Amino acid sequence: MAETTKAATPKSATYTKEDLLNSPSLAGYQRDILNAALEDGQDYTAKQVEDTIKKFKGGLL
């Protein structure tokens, strides 16, 4: 019988605060939110960034 192997789970891409602040895909206010909410020297996934923006906006409304 042939052995089955599990495919390696792809690791989510991560971005630094600087990468995100320089991203053309973010609106100006999103950059302001991330600049205030994210820590320097940390890496963030797209999901974490999305959740951070939603949480921040939710607290202002």
1, pLDDT greater than 60 = no
**Overall average pLDDT of the 2-21 stretch:** 76
How many Cα atoms within 13 Å fall on the side-chain side of residue 41? Answer: 0
Task: Report pLDDT for 27.
Answer: 86
- With CA atoms as reference, report the closest residue to 50 among 24, 30, 29: 30
- pLDDT above 70 coverage of the chain, percent: 79
**Overall average pLDDT of the 6-32 stretch:** 84
Residues with Cβ within 8 Å of 17's Cβ and at least 6 positions away in sequence, in order, are: 34, 35, 38, 39, 40, 41, 42, 44
